[in-house]
């Protein structure tokens, strides 16, 4: 469990994180979404005690990260995958980390296997591709078998196989009851990986909801209606308060009324329908809507 309350960070005159409050619960993958510069990395660094908040608190498993006696055993983090001693082999890099944290050799072999680096264990880390470095970062984070895992943009630079692999691993770790908090600016990726989303824009909380709720709340969703009597139906729908647009492949896109309301209205008007189907917004569209609102708000307040 991660509990963030009123978390705020100013860098000089830049407010990177602005009064954020949210919980990250165990047993789920929680996606941390926001455009570039939204404050995701800064928030993660404050949760990990690497940056001091200007105001507010971030608790991991009930206490601030530096107050944990054996942090590696409680909280794993993958922040900067290139931050390893490049001259060391993957195995020695992990062994040094393990030994300084009272973790045995056997666990080093286990995590190397878990992240698929068993064969490359003897290679120097500096010869690793970005994908291999990401795997090594994850192996280090998992050394202490932690209950909480934070990953900052873990799929950056990975090929489709690597992305699929990391997605499955994160979901497996969550299913084991761990708290998994993953930042990304890739909406499509989060739609497949996360159960729950924390969305930020310009340091502020824009949404704290399930993936399904974020999509459902988007006004980009609409009802698709096909009828041989479009010209009769469209004005009636508008009179009932709906917004009606022609669909690119024919038919009408109706927003402001749900399927049941459209079907009942058509029935009362004696209009035949060939199709009546809800069309969900993509997470991408929902995200653009959410973050566009935050940019408008920021420029308005900046002007006043």
Ligand X SMILES: Nc1ncnc2c1ncn2[C@@H]1O[C@H](COP(=O)(O)OP(=O)(O)OP(=O)(O)O)[C@@H](O)[C@H]1O
Q: List interacting residues with ligand X (CB under 6 A).
A: 11, 14, 16, 34, 36-42, 185
Are 283 and 191 spatial neighbours (Cβ–Cβ below 8 Å)?
yes
Residue number, 40 or 135, with CB nearest to ligand X: 40
Burial label, 303 (beta-carbon count in 10 A; 0-12, 13-18, 19+): exposed
Phi, psi of 180 (to 5 degrees): -120, 120
Strand intervals (E) in 47-104? 55-60, 75-78
For the CB of residue 104, give the shortest distance to ligand X in the complex, in Å: 35
Q: In terms of Cα–Cα distance, which of 157, 155, 89, 154 is closest to 124? A: 89
Residue number, 44 or 237, with CB nearest to ligand X: 44
Residue number, 34 or 53, with CB nearest to ligand X: 34
Residue number, 91 or 287, with CB nearest to ligand X: 287
Residue number, 51 or 110, with CB nearest to ligand X: 51
How is 231-275 classified by DSSP, letter by letter?
Answer: HHHHHHHHHTT-EEEE-TTSSEEEESS-HHHHHHHHHHTT---SE
Are 100 and 108 spatial neighbours (Cβ–Cβ below 8 Å)?
no
Are 64 and 49 spatial neighbours (Cβ–Cβ below 8 Å)?
yes
Residue 228 CB: number of other CB atoms within 10 A? Answer: 11
Q: Which residue's structure tokens are 């139906």?
A: 233
Residue number, 94 or 191, with CB nearest to ligand X: 191
Residue 148 CB: number of other CB atoms within 10 A? Answer: 21
């Amino acid at each position: 469990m991660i509990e963030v309350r009123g978390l705020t960070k100013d860098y000089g005159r830049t407010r990177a994180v602005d009064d954020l409050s949210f919980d990250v619960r165990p047993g789920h993958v929680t996606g941390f979404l926001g455009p570039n510069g939204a404050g995701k990395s800064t928030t993660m660094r404050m949760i990990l005690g690497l940056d001091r908040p200007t105001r507010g608190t971030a608790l991991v498993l009930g206490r601030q990260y530096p107050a944990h006696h054996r942090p590696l055993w409680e909280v794993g983090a993958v922040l900067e995958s290139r931050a390893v001693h490049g001259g060391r082999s993957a195995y020695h890099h992990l062994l040094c980390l393990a030994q300084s944290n009272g973790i045995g050799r056997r666990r080093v072999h286990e995590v190397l296997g878990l992240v698929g680096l068993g064969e490359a264990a003897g290679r120097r880390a500096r010869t690793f591709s970005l994908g291999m470095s990401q795997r090594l970062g994850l192996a280090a984070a998992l050394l202490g078998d932690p209950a909480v895992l934070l990953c900052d943009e873990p799929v950056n630079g990975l090929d489709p196989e690597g992305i699929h692999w990391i997605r499955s691993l994160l979901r497996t770790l969550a299913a084991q009851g761990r708290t998994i908090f993953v930042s990304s600016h890739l909406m499509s990726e989060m739609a497949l990986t996360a159960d729950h989303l924390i969305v930020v824009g310009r340091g502020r909380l824009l949404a704290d909801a399930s993936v399904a709720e974020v999509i459902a709340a988007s006004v980009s969703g609409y009802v698709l209606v096909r009828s041989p009597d479009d010209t009769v139906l469209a004005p009636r729908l508008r009179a009932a308060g709906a917004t009606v647009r022609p669909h690119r492949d024919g038919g009408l896109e109706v927003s402001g009324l749900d399927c049941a309301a459209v079907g009942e209205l058509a029935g009362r008007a004696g209009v035949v329908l060939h199709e009546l189907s809800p069309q969900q917004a993509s997470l991408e569209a929902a995200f653009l809507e959410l973050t566009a609102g935050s940019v408008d708000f920021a420029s308005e307040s900046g002007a006043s």
